[in-house]
Chain A
Amino acid sequence: MKNMKSKLVDILFLCMTVLPFAAGIVLRVLFRPLTEGVTVTGAQIYFTVPMPIQDLPVTEAQVNSLLVVLSLTGLCLFLTHGVTKIPHSRRQLLAEMLVEKVQELTDSNMGPRFSGFAPFVAAILALSAFSSLSSMLGLFSPTSDLNIVAGWALLVFILITYYKTRGGIGNYLREFTKPVVVLTPVNIIGEVATPLSMTLRHYGNILSGMVISTMLSVGLSGLSRLIFGWLPGAFGQFPFFEIGIPAVFSIYFDIFSGCLQAFIFAMLTMIYISNGFPGEAYEARMKRKSERIARRKQRQAEKTGVA
């Protein structure tokens, strides 16, 4: 009976993993306008929410990224369901392997101080990889929309700035004037360029893959019509070259490029955060703080002693 119940929950979680993608495909089919030929457009706008300053369009990219999040949640629940102390299922071994790999990556790149960052890094890695790979199902990949990636980069930028100011605001501002005061504008531009370059790198790679594969399939269908156009009936219209050849290019543009960009985004996040952290200034600040607290306590003790 218990086994039956556990199986049922498993199936529920698996459905939670798969169904969001199916929902995305259904939404795309329902909302896609019928057009002749192939066009390269941005994300489809599903509906707009009226807002006081500017209307908020809810686009395909936003919906798809939320669907990816839902699917990842389902996958995590599925992998960690029925975890025991001594692993007895293949699923638990896989989950443990993934966690260990990410922990190892974080420890080797960020050092022991930031080992708590592993879940965040894993989340970025999985979200980015799944978003890029969702284009294999015919969905509009959320990472080929600038806004989604810009949101992630902004989040990372806020984290970087937070860890840079750990050594005190004064120290953070003083870092801009190094090595000489004249270079301050250049340093400020460099600071702003961090999220911008992270955004454009990820977005540009995925978008270029999408554009090139679309152009390739259009070109191949034209080529096959040119060569096999003399065949009678439906054979003349059938795009023979479009069988298989785009799939070979898709291995690079969709799978390799998507996974590589996810890895690089996570890697840059780790490196920027751990490099931006001013270790010595932080230690000095903590020391000053503890001294101040100790002095205040001493003064209070003296006061109470006098009273």
Chain B
Amino acid sequence: MEIAIAIILGACALGAGVAMIAGIGPGIGEGYAVGRACEIIGRQPECKGQVTSTMLMGCAIAETTGLYALIIAILLIFVAPGIFVNILKNALI
């Protein structure tokens, strides 16, 4: 029983860690967007405001995929262990 619970907890933690690999994608994407925005501000300083607001908007949308992974990870850490342990206990009784 204890070993089974330990396996559940460990697997949940590992799953959360693996899920957060998805953080790479938005990181690269946002970095690219911000780099290009800096380039354009350097070339045309007068349109700084517009470029900044568009960039923030785009970054926030690009972040969505990372946030999906984050929500999965948070669910795996805080919610899933309890549910799985309950299922296991109900199955054994």
Q: Which chain A residues have a beta carbon within 8 Å of chain B's beta carbons?
A: 40, 197, 200-201, 203-205, 207-208, 211, 260-261, 263-264, 267
Cβ-defined contact, A261 with B60, below 8 A: yes
Interface-facing stretch out of B2-10, B35-43, B61-69, B83-91: B61-69
Number of B positions contacting A (CB below 8 A): 12
A267 proximity list for chain B (CB < 8 A): 57
Cβ-defined contact, B70 with A208, below 8 A: yes
B57 proximity list for chain A (CB < 8 A): 264, 267
Q: Which residues of chain B from 42 to 93 have any CB-CB distance to chain A below 8 Å in the complex?
A: 56-57, 60-61, 63-64, 67-68, 70-71, 74, 78
Cβ-defined contact, B74 with A211, below 8 A: yes
- Given A264-B60, A267-B57, A201 and B78 contact (CB-CB distance below 8 Å): no
Cβ-defined contact, A204 with B78, below 8 A: no
Cβ-defined contact, A204 with B60, below 8 A: no
- Distance between Cα atoms of A197 and B61 in the complex (Å): 9
11 example contacts (A-B, Cβ-Cβ < 8 A) are as follows A40-B78, A197-B64, A200-B71, A201-B61, A201-B64, A204-B64, A204-B68, A205-B60, A207-B74, A211-B74, A267-B57
Cβ-defined contact, B56 with A260, below 8 A: yes
- Given A205-B63, A267-B57, A200 and B78 contact (CB-CB distance below 8 Å): no
B64 proximity list for chain A (CB < 8 A): 197, 200-201, 204
Cβ-defined contact, A204 with B71, below 8 A: yes
B70 proximity list for chain A (CB < 8 A): 204, 208
Cβ-defined contact, B56 with A200, below 8 A: no
B78 proximity list for chain A (CB < 8 A): 40
Interface-centre pick from B63, B64, B68, B74 (highest chain A CB count, 10 A): B64
A208 proximity list for chain B (CB < 8 A): 67, 70, 74
A211 proximity list for chain B (CB < 8 A): 74
Cβ-defined contact, A260 with B60, below 8 A: yes
- Given A40-B78, A211-B74, A204 and B67 contact (CB-CB distance below 8 Å): yes
How far is the CB of A228 from the nearest CB of chain B, in Å?
Answer: 30
- Distance between Cα atoms of A296 and B68 in the complex (Å): 55
How far is the CB of B83 from the nearest CB of chain A, in Å?
Answer: 14
Closest 5 A-B residue pairs measured CB to CB? Answer: A204-B67, A264-B60, A201-B64, A204-B71, A208-B70
- Distance between Cα atoms of A21 and B87 in the complex (Å): 40
Q: Name B65's closest neighbour in chain A (CB-CB).
A: A197
- Distance between Cα atoms of A166 and B60 in the complex (Å): 30
How far is the CB of A101 from the nearest CB of chain B, in Å?
Answer: 13
- Distance between Cα atoms of A197 and B60 in the complex (Å): 11
How far is the CB of A211 from the nearest CB of chain B, in Å?
Answer: 7
Q: Name B64's closest neighbour in chain A (CB-CB).
A: A201
How far is the CB of B91 from the nearest CB of chain A, in Å?
Answer: 25
Cβ-defined contact, A205 with B74, below 8 A: no
How far is the CB of B54 from the nearest CB of chain A, in Å?
Answer: 10
Q: Name A193's closest neighbour in chain B (CB-CB).
A: B64
- Distance between Cα atoms of A211 and B77 in the complex (Å): 12
